[in-house]
Amino acid sequence: MSETRVHNLAVSLDGFATGEPQSLEAPFGHAGERLHEWFFPTATFRAMAGGEGDPAAAPDDAFASRWGDRIGAEIMGANKFGPPGWQDDPDWRGWWGPNPPFHTPTFVLTHRPRGPVEMEGGTTFHFLDASPADALAAARDAAGGLDVRIGGGPTVVRDFLAEGLVDHLHVVIVPILLGRGVRLWDGLEGLEKDYDIESTTTPSGVTHLTFDRR
């Protein structure tokens, strides 16, 4: 069975998965890199640049490394794909350079779709103006029997959670208070009823939460 999964979604203690304002210079707004400091020393992150992980980050990497297993497609929101206004730039191809780390068909939800863009390394961006359920059906088709990752940002993850479309959710609680930005948890009262939830604290100080559909 193809599952729908969210991985490595970092939120502040007060529930923000990004700061504000989002811009080309500051994709996470005033949050800067603070939501992801736990991630940078992991083998999973370092491998993207051909480097090696810090052994001290192994407990975090045990979670982080699940990101790519059996994933056949990703769905992301317009605000993860680019800064406000990227739709006005016909040459914008995402933040990730010519060879993005997705290596699968990658569906960008936007109200201003364009034609697909094939990148190096197996990533093709497809732009979709569609409901979460329809977007998931398209991504499943493209995933060839593998799982679909909902890559963020928080608005898209929240929408998929609200519609009951997520089988596995991995959230990383970072002990900072952002005060403003985009909240992950709004409008999800009672979500826990559908999931087995586990919490694990690591030496880096973050808490990994996993939700697995019952």
Closest to ligand NAP by CB, 114 or 144:
114
Neighbours of 51 (CB within 10 A): 11
Closest to ligand NAP by CB, 156 or 169:
156
Q: Which of ligand NAP, its own copies, none lies near 179, with the C-beta cut-off 5 to 8 A by kind?
A: its own copies
| Residue 35 in tokens | 């939501």
Q: Are 54 and 41 in contact (CB under 8 A)?
A: yes
First to last CA, the chain: 15
Binding site for its own copies (CB under 8 A): 13-15, 173, 175-180, 185-192, 197-201, 205-207, 209
Closest to ligand NAP by CB, 10 or 57:
10
Q: Which of ligand NAP, its own copies, none lies near 206, with the C-beta cut-off 5 to 8 A by kind?
A: its own copies
In whole angstroms, give the CA distance from residue 199 to residue 185.
16
Q: Please, which residues have CB within 8 angstroms of residue 183's CB and are 6 or more apart in sequence?
A: 15, 16, 17, 154, 158
CB of 81 to ligand NAP, least distance (A): 7
Closest to ligand NAP by CB, 1 or 88:
88
Kindly state the helix (H) or strand (E) to which residue 148 belongs, with its residue range: strand 147-152
Closest to its own copies by CB, 111 or 193:
193
Return the half-sphere exposure (C-beta side, CA atoms, 13 A cut-off) of residue 154.
21
Neighbours of 177 (CB within 10 A): 10
Q: Which of its own copies, ligand NAP, none lies near 10, with the C-beta cut-off 5 to 8 A by kind?
A: ligand NAP
CB of 163 to its own copies, least distance (A): 15
Q: Which of its own copies, ligand NAP, none lies near 109, with the C-beta cut-off 5 to 8 A by kind?
A: ligand NAP
CB of 76 to its own copies, least distance (A): 23
Q: Please, which residues have CB within 8 angstroms of residue 122's CB and are 6 or more apart in sequence?
A: 102, 103, 104
Binding site for ligand NAP (CB under 6 A): 8-10, 17-18, 22, 27-28, 35, 77-80, 109-112, 129-132, 152-156, 159, 182
